[in-house]
């Protein structure tokens, strides 16, 4: 009966008691087994100036020498003037769970005198990974999607103790809508406890002022008190002040710890009283890796819908629908016609300008010709007047005046003498 049928949104859910064990309580285990069989993947990008401890932190996080230290360029050798993108992949396993880890390094970022646009190759790399995924989704056969999207970007802040630099702000402003940003204070063992606290406050104020969204553990209503407490502790440590080291050293009280040894003591990487490394690892790997991946999906969806809109596909509340093709064709034709008439108008204007220039030039040369003609006419008339005068004097037998006739015979004589002398 159609009239009695309710839409899923308004249907009443009636709680029923089961008579025995049916088996769907096993669903989480099924999902677990399938995920373990398939393995997991995670792509993490590290961005920060050279020497801030990026490779050390990645190796410390995953307790493996995944990332080899870079060799310094020879003195005097030509340095690269662009930011590069390098992928380092490794399959790691822990208690039978496999993880395909990819670290995306960005050598060169922030290393130049002028760091304007040094974020461009990074933005391009993140977007092209989204594009690759989108292209695979649009294929007829999408049985196995190769996911290279960046799940997290650890941004290394120089331990200056002041506030964020312009390059930090510009980078985060451009990237926060495309990737899960995790800002960290690099080499925090170079700052005192108070310096770290005030530095964190200033960084957070800058982040808020510039409306930069950084990754925070989402708060779900159904979460238990312990998880809520854990999440708020993690959040209170952002931006994480970190210390990286893969070296094991002996403390004064005989413990073997990962840390950095100083004349005044040992900074322990895994000691929460010394730095926030454990909180970063907890968030990134132990509790929120899946959350980071899910959020990457949301960022990708935003990118995808923006791209689709730009291509002329509109999205309503639930589904994507094509814009009416006839209306689209009419719109395109109107746009094309408008473009053509604009071009025509521009060409007319250029043509008119050229004609006006030519006319002005012709008028000028005409005037010049007239002026020359007038000059020549005047001089010819003057000459004619003089000759007439001469003729009249000769006919009347009057001698020619020296000044007017050029000195007559005498002057002719003078001239010939002068000519002979020379």
> Residue 182 CB, nearest distance to ligand GTP (Å)?
15
Compare residues 107 and 121 and give the one whose CB is closer to ligand GTP: 107
The answer to whether the CB of 242 falls within 8 A of the CB of 188 is yes
Q: 125-130 — which CB contacts under 8 Å span 24+ positions?
A: 125/85, 125/150, 126/45, 126/150, 126/175, 126/178, 126/179, 127/178, 127/303, 130/178, 130/300, 130/303, 130/304
> Residue 275 CB, nearest distance to ligand GTP (Å)?
8
Compare residues 182 and 217 and give the one whose CB is closer to ligand GTP: 182
The answer to whether the CB of 269 falls within 8 A of the CB of 259 is yes
In the complex, which residues of this chain contact ligand GTP (CB under 6 A)? 50-56, 69-70, 107, 187, 189-190, 243-244, 260
Compare residues 257 and 299 and give the one whose CB is closer to ligand GTP: 257
Compare residues 55 and 118 and give the one whose CB is closer to ligand GTP: 55
Compare residues 72 and 143 and give the one whose CB is closer to ligand GTP: 72
> Residue 126 CB, nearest distance to ligand GTP (Å)?
19
> Residue 268 CB, nearest distance to ligand GTP (Å)?
12
Compare residues 26 and 160 and give the one whose CB is closer to ligand GTP: 160
Nearest-Å Rg of the Cα atoms of the chain is 43
CA pair distance 17, 11, nearest whole angstrom: 19
Tell me which residue of 289, 384, 221 sits closest to 40, measured CA to CA: 289
> Residue 222 CB, nearest distance to ligand GTP (Å)?
37
> Residue 60 CB, nearest distance to ligand GTP (Å)?
8
| Residue nearest to ligand GTP as judged by C-beta position | 53
> Residue 285 CB, nearest distance to ligand GTP (Å)?
18
Q: Is the peptide bond before 239 cis (omega within 30 degrees of 0)?
A: yes
Compare residues 269 and 292 and give the one whose CB is closer to ligand GTP: 269
Compare residues 58 and 207 and give the one whose CB is closer to ligand GTP: 58
> Residue 88 CB, nearest distance to ligand GTP (Å)?
11
């Amino acid at each position: 009966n159609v009239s009695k049928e309710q839409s899923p949104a308004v249907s009443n859910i009636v709680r029923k008691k089961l008579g025995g064990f049916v088996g769907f309580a096993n669903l989480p285990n099924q999902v677990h087994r399938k995920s373990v069989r398939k393995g997991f993947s995670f792509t993490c990008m590290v961005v920060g100036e050279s020497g801030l401890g990026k490779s050390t932190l990645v190796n410390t996080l995953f307790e493996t020498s995944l990332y080899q230290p870079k060799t310094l360029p020879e003195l005097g050798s030509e340095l690269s003037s662009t930011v590069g993108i390098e992928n380092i992949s490794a399959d790691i396993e822990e208690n039978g769970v496999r993880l395909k880890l990819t670290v995306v390094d960005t050598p060169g970022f922030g290393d130049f005198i002028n760091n304007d646009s040094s974020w461009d190759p990074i933005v391009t790399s993140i977007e092209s990974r989204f594009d690759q995924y989108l292209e695979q989704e649009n294929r007829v056969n999408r049985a196995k999607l190769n996911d290279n999207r960046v799940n997290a970007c650890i941004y290394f802040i120089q331990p200056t103790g002041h506030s964020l630099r312009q390059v930090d702000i510009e980078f985060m402003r451009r990237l926060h809508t495309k990737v899960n940003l995790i800002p960290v204070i690099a080499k925090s063992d170079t700052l005192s406890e108070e310096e770290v606290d005030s530095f964190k406050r200033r960084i957070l104020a800058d982040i808020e002022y510039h409306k930069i969204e950084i990754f925070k553990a989402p708060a779900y209503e159904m979460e238990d008190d312990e998880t809520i407490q854990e999440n708020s502790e993690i959040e209170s440590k952002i931006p994480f002040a970190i210390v990286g080291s893969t070296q094991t050293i002996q403390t004064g009280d005989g413990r073997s710890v990962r840390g950095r040894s100083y004349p005044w003591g040992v900074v322990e990487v895994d000691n929460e009283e010394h730095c926030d490394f454990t909180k970063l690892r907890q968030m990134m790997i132990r509790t929120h890796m899946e959350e980071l991946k899910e959020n990457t999906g949301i960022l990708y969806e935003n990118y995808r819908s923006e791209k689709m809109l730009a291509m002329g596909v509109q999205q309503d509340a639930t589904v994507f629908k094509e814009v009416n093709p006839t209306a689209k064709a009419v719109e395109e034709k109107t746009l094309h016609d408008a473009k053509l008439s604009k071009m025509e108008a521009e060409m007319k204007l250029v043509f008119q300008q050229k004609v006006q220039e030519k006319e002005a030039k012709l008028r000028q040369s005409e005037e010049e010709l007239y002026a020359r003609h007038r000059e020549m006419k005047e001089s010819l008339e003057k000459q004619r007047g003089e000759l007439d005068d001469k003729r009249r004097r000769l006919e009347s037998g009057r001698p020619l005046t020296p000044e007017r006739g050029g000195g007559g015979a005498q002057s002719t004589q003078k001239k010939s003498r002068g000519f002979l002398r020379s």
